[in-house]
Copies of this chain bind each other. A is one copy, B any other.
Protein backbone atom coordinates (compact mmCIF):
# COMPACT_ATOMS: atom_id res chain seq x y z
CA UNK A 1 0.00 0.00 0.00
CA UNK A 2 1.34 3.37 -1.00
CA UNK A 3 1.05 6.02 1.68
CA UNK A 4 1.29 8.74 -0.94
CA UNK A 5 -1.40 11.39 -0.73
CA UNK A 6 -1.26 12.13 -4.45
CA UNK A 7 -3.62 10.06 -6.55
CA UNK A 8 -1.28 10.53 -9.50
CA UNK A 9 1.60 8.95 -7.63
CA UNK A 10 -0.57 6.07 -6.48
CA UNK A 11 -1.43 5.36 -10.06
CA UNK A 12 2.20 5.40 -11.15
CA UNK A 13 3.12 3.12 -8.27
CA UNK A 14 0.52 0.64 -9.46
CA UNK A 15 2.25 0.61 -12.84
CA UNK A 16 -0.83 1.78 -14.66
CA UNK A 17 -0.22 4.87 -16.75
CA UNK A 18 -3.55 6.62 -16.79
CA UNK A 19 -5.55 9.52 -18.00
CA UNK A 20 -5.65 11.59 -14.81
CA UNK A 21 -8.18 13.91 -16.40
CA UNK A 22 -10.60 11.05 -17.03
CA UNK A 23 -10.17 9.72 -13.48
CA UNK A 24 -10.94 13.13 -12.07
CA UNK A 25 -14.02 13.44 -14.27
CA UNK A 26 -15.23 10.06 -13.07
CA UNK A 27 -14.80 10.83 -9.37
CA UNK A 28 -16.34 14.23 -9.94
CA UNK A 29 -19.34 12.65 -11.65
CA UNK A 30 -19.92 10.40 -8.62
CA UNK A 31 -19.78 13.40 -6.29
CA UNK A 32 -22.08 15.43 -8.53
CA UNK A 33 -24.65 12.60 -8.52
CA UNK A 34 -24.41 12.30 -4.74
CA UNK A 35 -24.68 16.03 -4.08
CA UNK A 36 -27.73 16.09 -6.35
CA UNK A 37 -29.40 13.84 -3.81
CA UNK A 38 -29.04 10.55 -5.68
CA UNK A 39 -29.10 7.64 -3.31
CA UNK A 40 -26.26 5.14 -3.41
CA UNK A 41 -28.68 2.52 -4.73
CA UNK A 42 -29.71 4.81 -7.59
CA UNK A 43 -26.15 5.43 -8.76
CA UNK A 44 -25.00 3.03 -11.45
CA UNK A 45 -21.70 2.68 -13.29
CA UNK A 46 -23.71 3.54 -16.42
CA UNK A 47 -24.92 6.81 -14.91
CA UNK A 48 -21.42 7.73 -13.76
CA UNK A 49 -19.97 6.95 -17.19
CA UNK A 50 -22.64 9.05 -18.89
CA UNK A 51 -22.10 11.97 -16.52
CA UNK A 52 -18.31 11.79 -16.85
CA UNK A 53 -18.42 11.39 -20.62
CA UNK A 54 -16.38 8.19 -20.60
CA UNK A 55 -17.08 4.56 -21.42
CA UNK A 56 -17.95 2.01 -18.74
CA UNK A 57 -14.73 0.13 -19.57
CA UNK A 58 -12.67 3.16 -18.52
CA UNK A 59 -14.30 3.00 -15.10
CA UNK A 60 -13.92 -0.76 -14.71
CA UNK A 61 -10.20 -0.56 -15.60
CA UNK A 62 -9.63 1.47 -12.42
CA UNK A 63 -12.39 0.36 -10.02
CA UNK A 64 -13.62 -3.23 -9.61
CA UNK A 65 -17.12 -2.17 -8.51
CA UNK A 66 -19.39 0.67 -7.47
CA UNK A 67 -18.45 0.49 -3.79
CA UNK A 68 -14.74 0.92 -4.56
CA UNK A 69 -15.60 3.86 -6.79
CA UNK A 70 -17.76 5.50 -4.12
CA UNK A 71 -15.07 5.06 -1.50
CA UNK A 72 -12.44 6.66 -3.76
CA UNK A 73 -14.80 9.50 -4.59
CA UNK A 74 -15.43 10.27 -0.92
CA UNK A 75 -11.72 9.97 -0.20
CA UNK A 76 -10.78 12.23 -3.13
CA UNK A 77 -13.09 14.94 -1.89
CA UNK A 78 -11.29 15.79 1.28
CA UNK A 79 -7.89 17.40 1.07
CA UNK A 80 -5.13 16.53 3.51
CA UNK A 81 -5.63 17.73 7.07
CA UNK A 82 -3.53 20.70 8.09
CA UNK A 83 -0.58 19.96 10.32
CA UNK A 84 -1.22 21.47 13.75
CA UNK A 85 1.36 24.22 14.15
CA UNK A 86 1.62 23.61 17.87
CA UNK A 87 1.75 27.32 18.73
CA UNK A 88 -1.43 27.34 20.80
CA UNK A 89 -4.29 24.93 21.24
CA UNK A 90 -6.71 27.68 20.21
CA UNK A 91 -4.88 28.29 16.92
CA UNK A 92 -4.62 24.59 16.17
CA UNK A 93 -8.32 24.01 16.84
CA UNK A 94 -9.25 26.95 14.61
CA UNK A 95 -7.10 25.48 11.83
CA UNK A 96 -8.75 22.07 12.24
CA UNK A 97 -12.28 23.50 12.19
CA UNK A 98 -11.36 25.78 9.28
CA UNK A 99 -10.16 22.76 7.28
CA UNK A 100 -13.81 21.65 7.21
CA UNK A 101 -15.02 25.00 5.85
CA UNK A 102 -13.31 25.03 2.46
CA UNK A 103 -15.60 24.76 -0.60
CA UNK A 104 -14.22 21.25 -1.04
CA UNK A 105 -15.13 20.32 2.54
CA UNK A 106 -18.54 21.96 2.20
CA UNK A 107 -19.26 19.79 -0.78
CA UNK A 108 -18.11 16.85 1.29
CA UNK A 109 -20.69 17.69 3.96
CA UNK A 110 -23.40 17.75 1.35
CA UNK A 111 -22.30 14.40 -0.04
CA UNK A 112 -22.11 12.93 3.46
CA UNK A 113 -25.67 14.11 4.01
CA UNK A 114 -26.76 12.22 0.89
CA UNK A 115 -24.77 9.15 1.97
CA UNK A 116 -26.28 9.16 5.47
CA UNK A 117 -29.08 6.66 4.79
CA UNK A 118 -26.37 4.33 3.50
CA UNK A 119 -23.93 5.07 6.33
CA UNK A 120 -26.65 4.22 8.86
CA UNK A 121 -26.85 0.73 7.44
CA UNK A 122 -23.98 -1.51 8.36
CA UNK A 123 -22.40 -1.41 4.93
CA UNK A 124 -18.84 -1.68 3.69
CA UNK A 125 -19.13 1.96 2.66
CA UNK A 126 -20.12 2.91 6.21
CA UNK A 127 -17.12 1.08 7.63
CA UNK A 128 -14.78 2.70 5.09
CA UNK A 129 -16.24 6.11 5.87
CA UNK A 130 -15.61 5.51 9.56
CA UNK A 131 -12.05 4.37 8.83
CA UNK A 132 -11.56 7.56 6.85
CA UNK A 133 -13.09 9.98 9.37
CA UNK A 134 -11.62 8.45 12.51
CA UNK A 135 -8.01 9.65 11.97
CA UNK A 136 -9.36 13.17 11.53
CA UNK A 137 -11.21 12.96 14.84
CA UNK A 138 -8.07 11.57 16.42
CA UNK A 139 -6.06 14.61 15.32
CA UNK A 140 -8.48 16.88 17.18
CA UNK A 141 -8.32 14.65 20.25
CA UNK A 142 -4.52 14.89 20.24
CA UNK A 143 -4.64 18.68 20.19
CA UNK A 144 -7.17 18.62 23.06
CA UNK A 145 -5.05 16.21 25.11
CA UNK A 146 -2.02 18.41 24.54
CA UNK A 147 -4.07 21.37 25.82
CA UNK A 148 -4.91 19.48 29.01
CA UNK A 149 -1.23 18.68 29.49
CA UNK A 150 -0.04 22.25 28.93
CA UNK A 151 -2.81 23.61 31.16
CA UNK A 152 -4.46 25.56 28.35
CA UNK A 153 -7.55 23.37 28.80
CA UNK A 154 -9.27 22.28 31.99
CA UNK A 155 -7.89 19.17 33.64
CA UNK A 156 -11.28 17.42 33.74
CA UNK A 157 -12.01 17.99 30.02
CA UNK A 158 -14.28 15.46 28.31
CA UNK A 159 -12.10 15.07 25.21
CA UNK A 160 -14.60 13.01 23.25
CA UNK A 161 -17.52 15.36 23.83
CA UNK A 162 -15.36 18.41 23.11
CA UNK A 163 -14.19 16.87 19.86
CA UNK A 164 -17.82 16.42 18.85
CA UNK A 165 -18.71 19.94 19.98
CA UNK A 166 -16.02 21.30 17.69
CA UNK A 167 -17.12 19.33 14.62
CA UNK A 168 -20.89 18.87 14.96
CA UNK A 169 -22.02 22.53 14.66
CA UNK A 170 -20.18 22.99 11.37
CA UNK A 171 -21.47 19.72 9.96
CA UNK A 172 -25.07 20.49 10.92
CA UNK A 173 -24.75 24.03 9.59
CA UNK A 174 -23.47 22.72 6.25
CA UNK A 175 -25.90 19.83 6.01
CA UNK A 176 -28.98 21.88 6.83
CA UNK A 177 -27.57 25.09 5.34
CA UNK A 178 -28.36 27.04 8.48
CA UNK A 179 -27.77 30.76 8.51
CA UNK A 180 -26.17 31.53 11.85
CA UNK A 181 -25.41 35.14 11.03
CA UNK A 182 -21.68 34.40 11.34
CA UNK A 183 -19.57 35.43 8.34
CA UNK A 184 -17.85 32.39 6.86
CA UNK A 185 -14.35 33.78 7.54
CA UNK A 186 -15.23 33.99 11.25
CA UNK A 187 -16.96 30.63 11.53
CA UNK A 188 -14.08 28.48 12.81
CA UNK A 189 -12.96 31.11 15.30
CA UNK A 190 -16.52 31.58 16.59
CA UNK A 191 -17.00 27.84 17.18
CA UNK A 192 -13.64 27.38 18.86
CA UNK A 193 -14.04 30.42 21.12
CA UNK A 194 -17.56 29.35 22.09
CA UNK A 195 -16.21 25.90 23.02
CA UNK A 196 -13.21 27.31 24.88
CA UNK A 197 -14.81 30.16 26.81
CA UNK A 198 -18.16 28.59 27.61
CA UNK A 199 -21.55 30.25 27.85
CA UNK A 200 -21.69 30.75 31.60
CA UNK A 201 -20.93 34.23 32.92
Interface residues of A (CB under 8 A from B): 37-39, 41-42, 110, 113-114, 116-121, 144, 147, 151-155, 157-158, 160-162, 164-165, 167-169, 171-173, 175-178, 180-182, 190-191, 194-201
Beta-carbon contact of A161 and B180 below 8 Å: yes
A121 to B201 alpha-carbon distance, docked (Å): 40
Chain A residues touching B, majority SS: helix
Copies in the complex: 2
Beta-carbon contact of B169 and A171 below 8 Å: no
Q: List 26 A-B contacts (CB under 8 A).
A: A39-B39, A39-B42, A39-B117, A113-B120, A114-B117, A116-B117, A116-B175, A120-B177, A152-B201, A154-B197, A155-B201, A158-B190, A158-B194, A160-B182, A161-B180, A161-B182, A161-B190, A162-B199, A164-B169, A164-B178, A165-B194, A168-B168, A171-B172, A196-B199, A197-B198, A198-B199
